[in-house]
Amino acid sequence: MPPELPHSEEFVLAFLAEAGDEYVSGEAISDKLGLTRAAVWKHVNALRGLGYRIDAMPARGYRLAAVPDRLTALELRPLLNTHDLGQVLHAFEVIGSTSDHAKGLAEEGAAHGEVVIAESQTAGRGRRGRSWASPPGKNAYFSAVLRPELPPGRAPELTLVASVAMCDAVRQAGVPAGIKWPNDLLVGGRKIAGILTELAAEPDRIQWVVLGIGVNVNARLEDFPEEVRPEVTSILLERGEPAPRALFVAACLTALEEWLDLHAEAGFAPVRQAWRERSLTLGREVLVRTEGREIVGTAEDIDERGALLVRAGGRVEQILAGDVKLLRPVPLRDPG
């Protein structure tokens, strides 16, 4: 593990990160942080020594051009502008599953927003008992502990909240992802991200939720096991250049927190609308596997609880849990 950053370096880095692509003057940094110009220069050089690329231009100042491609607290903490998510960060080089670890922490009383992140997983889990390919040092694998004030019956809403937030983060990275119900992110029919929602609840309240999120960021097809290669893609493969993972994870946590806040304030209605707008499922013919049954029909909508509504054989089936296969788009009816 790399050494911890001394506080002043962390502050200089956070200041530069907040400015994004803009230059900030040495004077602005020294005024804001109460440092001498010489101290700012020293901290910039120390950060460069740790692998941060910081451009310097006379009369314009400094600009954060690149961060090291590692996902430790050292890289992530200064990039986070969240109030809860990731403020307590448990970072690992290798772990069985970030979600298993987060569940253990939740049972021991972890606070809302604690995040477990790892460079690789040896037992990454997907939905419905599947495994999640987790090649080292290429992608993003993280799990957030949430303590929402919601009755257990509303927990499925959080899965859709997370899918909308991750869709936004992947789109911000320049990749036009969409959502397959309930929460798979696909590009060109291939999976780029998945979300696993697990929880513990009493009859009338949720104790904790763990949102486990995996995004294929910089992996190439050969990094994945052969059997999943036809079904997966990554940000690198879609846009042709790698994404800085720490910045991407920070953007994921920001998007997730913004959507969770909106959901807590305004309820499910705005999330439902946002989900519809990002959906790849609605208006398609689908094959749904649920509770030992298979249903083929047209995905018409999601209801006010997030269930998928599928019209099949003259009636509308409400699907609360299951696996959806997209078949073909349903042709628009000729109004004449």
Where along the sequence are the contacts to ligand BTN (CB under 6 A)?
97-99, 121, 124-127, 130, 132, 141-143, 184, 194-196, 212-214
Give the pair of three-digit tokens for residue 336.
């004449």
Minimum gap (Å) between residue 124 Cβ and ligand BTN:
4
Minimum gap (Å) between residue 252 Cβ and ligand BTN:
11
Choose between 18 and 231: whose C-beta lies nearer to ligand BTN. 231
Peptide bond into 182 cis (omega under 30): yes
Q: Can you tell me the distance from the alpha carbon of 309 to that of 68, in angstroms, rounded to the nearest whole number?
A: 45
Minimum gap (Å) between residue 24 Cβ and ligand BTN:
34
Choose between 43 and 125: whose C-beta lies nearer to ligand BTN. 125
Choose between 210 and 274: whose C-beta lies nearer to ligand BTN. 210
Residues forming a β-bridge with 141: 118, 214
Using alpha carbons, select from 152, 281, 160, 140 the residue that is nearest to residue 219.
Answer: 140
Choose between 64 and 89: whose C-beta lies nearer to ligand BTN. 89
Give the pair of three-digit tokens for residue 22.
């803009």
Tell me if 271 sits within 8 A of 302, measured CB to CB: no
Minimum gap (Å) between residue 168 Cβ and ligand BTN:
18
Minimum gap (Å) between residue 167 Cβ and ligand BTN:
13
- One-character DSSP codes across 205-253: SEEEEEEEEEE--S--GGGS-GGGGGGB--HHHHHSS---HHHHHHHHH
Choose between 63 and 289: whose C-beta lies nearer to ligand BTN. 289
Q: In 3-state terms, what secondary structure has residue 266? A: helix
Choose between 95 and 274: whose C-beta lies nearer to ligand BTN. 95
Question: Please, what's the b/e burial string for 182-215 (b: 16 or more CB within 10 A of its CB; e: otherwise)?
Answer: bbbbbbeebbbbbbbbbbeeeeeebebbbbbbbb
Question: Please, what's the b/e burial string for 43-75 (b: 16 or more CB within 10 A of its CB; e: otherwise)?
Answer: bbebbeebebebeeeeeebbbbeebbbbbbbbb
Tell me if 281 sits within 8 A of 313, measured CB to CB: no
DSSP secondary-structure letter at 93?
E
CA distances from 105 to 90, 127, 291 (A): 10, 21, 31
Minimum gap (Å) between residue 179 Cβ and ligand BTN:
11
Choose between 5 and 255: whose C-beta lies nearer to ligand BTN. 255
Choose between 98 and 233: whose C-beta lies nearer to ligand BTN. 98
Tell me if 242 sits within 8 A of 259, measured CB to CB: no
Minimum gap (Å) between residue 143 Cβ and ligand BTN:
5
Minimum gap (Å) between residue 213 Cβ and ligand BTN:
6
